[in-house]
Amino acid sequence: MHIVSDTRESWDERLPGWPSFPVTTTKASPGDLSSGLWSQLVPECPALHETGRIQDTHLDFWDQIYLVGNSSTSQYDILRDFFSQNPENSDRLACFAVTGDNFHGQHHRLWQAVAGNLHLSVSVPLDLPAGPCSLAWTMLPAVAVMHTLNQLKITDFAEDVDFGIKWVNDVLWGGRKLAGVISSVVSEKGRLRRGFLGIGLNVAVAPPIPGGENSQAVTCLHQQLQPNHAQLGRILELVLLSLAELISHFGINGREISTVGGPDHIFQEYRRFSLVVGRQVRILADPLNGPETEICQGKVLNINPDLSLVVDGYPYPVSEGRLFFKE
């Protein structure tokens, strides 16, 4: 595994809690494949400053981890563009940015990348059948966030706190948005060939959501916990570990094939953390797809494995729209 950064300065201040490793520092050659991606991530830094080669660590699922001070555009989009041009690449890559511009969630809704928060994009090669695996991949990043927060072993998670996954891809705490995720896959001849995930998690700052939504609907971990319980570097490490563990349920474990769990495990975890089952909700058509008209309202009875909702009194599964709690 390589950990690559764009600065010789210590990352201790940027990523408090990030583990210290014995690192052998080398200059990356211009011909490295990683340099081709790096020049897109950090165009003002054409040569890699440092490459720390780290072996035999618990993060070695990842071939390369990029730590970038500022990204001029969405790292998620850069990864997708890069691998569309380099489909033969088999690296498992993770990109973290301290700050950046033009970051976004699903449907290209803007996400403010503020220093102190987690902005992570990853890409891994896949060789899986489409169908349930595609759907499980959609659920995976939100489940990884929940696993991460549970691994913090914080004792003040109250049972009555509104803490979990809001359909489809938001994580809430106390009814306010804490994290958002994004996912996509590249498929070929009915098989998934590469997967992309993006996670935005408010750790130190609760920035208002662009687009006029109420900023009071946003929270961050430092508003909920003591700062020493929510160190950004430690959370980045836990997210990377959680993602690696969950990806293994698709049958991939390191470089070996595994039979652990399967996509159904991801679905069961998603449903376990869901905030919507049993709740009275109102679902509106997404205004990005046309008028914001009401699709239905009522009590959510269940979530199907395809992520559609069963709503009491509505004759069809609901597979799209924006969900609002009525109570």
- In this prediction, residue 215 carries a pLDDT of 43
Return the minimum-mean-pLDDT range out of 121-130, 131-140, 212-221: 212-221
Least confident among 96-105, 239-248, 300-309: 96-105
Owning domain of residue 294 = 276-327
170 and 184 both lie in a single domain: yes
- Could you tell me if 187 and 322 lie in one domain? no
Mean pLDDT value across residues 157-182: 86
Q: Are residues 216 and 322 in the same domain?
A: no
pTM of the model: 0.91
pLDDT, tens digit, 9 for 90 and up, residues 60-112: 899 889 999 888 889 999 999 999 998 888 899 999 999 988 787 776 667 77
> In the chain, what is the straight-line distance between the N-terminal and C-terminal CA atoms, in Å?
48
Same domain, 189 and 320: no
State mean pLDDT over 211-236: 80
Q: Do residues 226 and 104 share a domain?
A: yes
Per-residue confidence (pLDDT) for residue 162, from 0 to 100: 81
* Average confidence (pLDDT) over 234-253: 88
Residues 243 and 145 in one domain: yes
Q: Do 39 and 159 share a domain, yes or no? A: yes
Q: Mean pLDDT across the chain, nearest whole number?
A: 84
Residues 182, 290, single domain; the answer is: no
Cα separation of 147 and 10, whole Å?
28
261 and 283 in one domain?
no
Q: Give residue-wise pLDDT tens across range 5-41.
A: 887 666 778 899 988 776 656 565 555 556 678 888 8
Tens digit of pLDDT for each residue in 252-282?
644 443 445 678 999 999 999 999 999 999 9
The CATH number of whichever domain residue 285 belongs to comes to: 2.30.30
